[in-house]
Amino acid sequence: PEIISKIASGQIASSPMNVLKELIENAIDAKATEILIRIKDHFNFKVTDNGIGIPYKELPTAVERFTTSKISTIRDLSQINTYGFRGEALYAISQVSHLTIKSRFQEESIGGKLEVKGGKILSHSPISFSRGTSVLVSSLYFNVPVRKKCFDLREKRNLKKIVKTFALCRPEITFKLDNEVFFASSLEERIRQIFGKEITFEKELSKRFTIFYLTEKEEGRRKISFIFVNKRPVSLPEVEKVLSELNIKNYILFINVTPEEVDVNVTPTKDKVILRDFSILEEMKNLLAKKVFLPTF
């Protein structure tokens, strides 16, 4: 059984970056307005939020497989407006790390602490804690040496990138990442907070999408390419292809469609989505082809 659960945890806890992604998504789903991320190294990090918190009694349930507070009926699945809905992330992470969750539910006066290591609950006790939740992942992959070997300290860069990715699509939330702070702001301001004050971009919008793109190549800048569908960071090869054909190399694209128009339940990591209606590609081509693009080589 231990082996089976380790395999099941494979995809979600496949990388430190994906683990951190799940924790940030949980904080946003909990309606946090401030999220604090501390990264000691790629196997030891912590996410603290000021969201609704987890009721004391439900702490052990949160790390059980397929338990989610976010969806209760099949109808809900086509109406998803939270990042999480599968109830697998904390379970998967708890299988391959030493996980410490501290939380206080908004309607309770006393908080709780739950410690899990390699899937075993070590302790569950009351503590005093400010409203919200803190999830500490330590010794990630301590019991999966093969996976551990796949990552070195360079992974820390990916951890920072995933924080910035969420900061980009949720400018209304304050993110604190070690010594960097992205205060709640407008989207335009958030883009500057993340990529630098001097960044210049054009903006085009239509009913279903908003795109920011750089018109000039700035020396030494890393490629900027982000696609969000309903505020979910995704890869969408079809769209990437269209943008590349239009010679748009650096872009931040927000696609907004009704939840029915997009299937997010494609992979456990939720980074692939299927758009039900690809007419949006034509819309994009029509709108952007009219613009003149400087070659960016």
Binding mask 47-76 vs ligand ADP (x if CB under 6 A, - otherwise)? Answer: --x-xxxx-------x-----xxx------
Minimum distance, C-beta of residue 206 to ligand ADP, in the bound complex (Å): 31
Q: Which lies closer to ligand ADP via its Cβ, residue 84 or residue 118?
A: 84
CA 263 to chain CA centroid, nearest Å: 17
Distance CA 95, CA 93 (A): 5
Q: In the structure encoding, which two tokens stand for residue 13, read together? A: 């806890």
When asked if residue 51 is in the footprint of Mg ion (CB under 5 A), the reply is no
**C-alpha angle 232/198/231, rounded to 5°?**
10
Distance CA 151, CA 163 (A): 18
Nearest to 27 by CA among 37, 14, 40: 37
Residues 24-43 that bind ligand ADP (CB under 6 A): 26-27, 29-30
The one of Mg ion, ligand ADP, none whose footprint includes residue 85, by CB under 5 to 8 A per kind, is ligand ADP
Distance CA 292, CA 246 (A): 9
Minimum distance, C-beta of residue 82 to Mg ion, in the bound complex (Å): 8
Q: Which lies closer to Mg ion via its Cβ, residue 79 or residue 186?
A: 79
Minimum distance, C-beta of residue 214 to Mg ion, in the bound complex (Å): 33
Q: Is the Cβ–Cβ distance between 42 and 156 less than 8 Å?
A: yes
Residues 93-132 that bind ligand ADP (CB under 6 A): none
Binding mask 55-94 vs Mg ion (x if CB under 5 A, - otherwise)? Answer: -----------------------------x----x-----
List Cβ neighbours of 211 (8 Å cut-off, separation of 6 or more). Answer: 203, 204, 205, 248, 251, 252, 253, 254, 284, 288
Going edge to edge, which strands form the sheet with 98-104? 120-127, 111-117, 98-104, 132-138, 44-49, 34-41, 174-177, 180-182
The one of ligand ADP, Mg ion, none whose footprint includes residue 52, by CB under 5 to 8 A per kind, is ligand ADP
Q: Which lies closer to ligand ADP via its Cβ, residue 26 or residue 174?
A: 26
Q: Which lies closer to ligand ADP via its Cβ, residue 99 or residue 236?
A: 99
| Pairing of the two strands 120-127 and 111-117 | antiparallel
**C-alpha angle 205/197/164, rounded to 5°?**
70
Q: Which lies closer to ligand ADP via its Cβ, residue 30 or residue 167?
A: 30
Q: Which residues would be at the binding site for ligand ADP (CB under 6 A)?
A: 22, 26-27, 29-30, 49, 51-54, 62, 68-70, 84-91, 133
Q: Which residues would be at the binding site for Mg ion (CB under 5 A)?
A: 26, 84, 89
